Chain A
Amino acid sequence: MQTQWSNETLREIFPAIWDGFLVVLQVTLVAGVIAIVLGLFVAIGERNGPVWLRRPLGALFQFVRNTPLLVQVLIVWTATSLYINPEWSAFAVGSAVLGVHYASYTSESYRAGIDAIPKGQWEAATALNLPARRVWGAVVLPQMARRSAAAVGNWIIAMFKEVPTLFVIGVMEMIAEARAFQGQHYTGAVEGYTLAGLLFLAASYPVAVAMRRLEIRLAKSNY
């Protein structure tokens, strides 16, 4: 066990942690796309999908939302690596699980955004006889997007900060890099974890502030 902070070690471990940080960004990108797109389909499916689909879909995502990401990652990774296809990379499987997990949250934000649209909007669309595709595409989704944008953005930031969970299946993010470095050099965990925490802080704080600004701006906009 390491007993002292060392600036030397900090310099040596920096490249590894930086690599880990880039992996975190890549995972965020892939999982973020999944969360944003899948969440929307889930929200629409739960509301306007075929009747037989609504309840099971709602129940499934309620389960996903209320159980730990860590265990979900472990169970899916076990299933893919032992039973489905051992070739699938931890990066791919981890990103997919993370994306689905956060889709369970974004779908709630989308749902809230759709529910907040006044009933009169749907009625006006009916009165004009607009086809379903236009009702969603031209009336509902644009209004929902404004209402949900900030909330969904906040979920993506939260997701970004949960990427390190994926170290348990061997995704080489910052924790895994720090542990690997520690394994090789018998030192570096202290500096590595500290650096990882600070990198998260440096990356997510400005985005969170921008998100708060966006929230205020959207609240003041024309619709």
Chain B
Amino acid sequence: MQSPITDPSGAEPLIEFDRVDKSFGDLKVLDKLNFRVDPGERVTLIGPSGSGKTTILRLLMTLEKVTPTADPETEGGVIYVEGKPYSHMEKGGKLVPASERWLRQRRSRVGMVFQQFNLFPNMKVLRNVTEAQVHVAGRSKAEAEAKAGELLELVGLSEKADEYPARLSGGQQQRVAIARALAMDPDILLLDEVTSALDPELVADVLAVLRDVAETTSITMLCVTHEMGFARDVSNRVLMFDNGQIVEQGAPEAIFSEPQEARTQDFLRAVLAE
């Protein structure tokens, strides 16, 4: 089953949300949301808290499920990745909500870095980075450790490989978390407010690592952040959210210099005043 929207340029979008709804109880966080991301794009999601940005990342990581629609073929409510259904699967020619097995298979190309790092505290840094390589990607221990070594060097933490996460600063833990996500060679990297939980002086190191990743790889990145400078430098496109809808989108220069919508202007004024 192909995604219903065809791109005039012919390039197939990597990620596509087709009229996606998401509610938590009575609270509607995404309202018939349409949007798409091309391969290699760096997209930053901005907007007031509660506007649904983080929910988009969590849906892509399958930590949440879309609110089901009665007839996905006509009503939408489906997420596609690489042109194939992602939140749903095909069964008897129809789209049905994905099974856990299907999700296991599909989410393997997606990686995520969390606001709270979420390193495994019972594993040393090295094993945090090798665990999934060995037990999910099926690499040998030596292979996984070699890869972990490279990535720890990339994030500047080679000498911490043998420490427990609790002995690292928040910024260091977050850099390990980035290495852990990259170790699985994801096509899509989701960054969920990765600097919000950090003390101000630790933010720069983490952002430097991410800038480095953005420059040296072609990984598609979706990023929820309040770091406008970082968003401006790294992203190709900025999406402004409010009430589960995209209010405005465009190149970072355009959004940050000449926002068209009043809501965007208010939001940027509030954030930059901080």
Contact = CB atoms under 8 A, between A and B. Distances in A.
Q: Do chains A and B touch in the complex (CB under 8 A)?
A: yes
Interface of A: 118, 120-121, 123-124, 126-131, 134, 138-139, 142-143, 146, 222-223
Interface residues on B, range: 20 to 34
B164 A124 contact: no
Interface string B166-194: 11000000000000110010000000000
B131 A127 contact: no
Given A124-B114, A222-B166, A222-B167, A129 B122 contact: no
B112 interface: yes
A131 B131 CA distance: 11
B136 A128 contact: yes
In order of increasing CB-CB distance, the 10 nearest A-B pairs are A223-B121, A124-B118, A120-B118, A128-B132, A222-B164, A127-B112, A142-B122, A222-B166, A134-B135, A129-B136
Given A123-B63, A127-B107, A130-B131, 6 more contacts: A123-B118, A124-B118, A124-B120, A128-B132, A128-B136, A138-B131
B123 A127 contact: no
Contacts of B122: 139, 142-143, 146, 223
Contacts, number: 70
A222 B131 CA distance: 19
B111 interface: yes
Interface of B: 61-63, 104, 107-108, 110-112, 114, 116-123, 131-132, 135-136, 164-167, 180-181, 184
B61 A128 contact: no
A221 to B, nearest CB: 9
A130 B107 CA distance: 11
Nearest to A117: B121
A120 B120 CA distance: 10
A85 B170 CA distance: 61
Contacts of B164: 222-223
B191 to A, nearest CB: 12
Contacts of B131: 128, 130, 134, 138
Contacts of B110: 127
Contacts of B108: 129
Contact of B63 (A121, A127, A130, A138): A127
Contacts of B184: 128-129
A130 B119 contact: no
A50 to B, nearest CB: 14
Nearest to A142: B122
Nearest to B120: A139
A139 B165 CA distance: 14
Contacts of A146: 122
Given A124-B114, A223-B122, A131 B135 contact: yes
B161 to A, nearest CB: 15
B123 A129 contact: no
Nearest to A223: B121
Nearest to B134: A134
Nearest to A121: B118
A58 B108 CA distance: 35
Contacts of B112: 127
A126 B103 CA distance: 10
B251 to A, nearest CB: 29
A138 B181 CA distance: 18
A23 to B, nearest CB: 38
Contact of A127 (B121, B167, B181): B181
Contacts of B119: 124
26 contacts: A118-B116, A118-B118, A120-B118, A121-B120, A123-B61, A123-B63, A124-B114, A127-B63, A127-B107, A127-B110, A127-B111, A128-B132, A128-B184, A129-B104, A129-B107, A129-B132, A129-B184, A130-B132, A130-B135, A131-B136, A142-B122, A143-B121, A143-B122, A222-B164, A222-B167, A223-B122
A123 B166 CA distance: 19
Contacts of A143: 120-122
Contacts of B135: 130-131, 134, 138
Contacts of A127: 61, 63, 107, 110-112, 114, 181
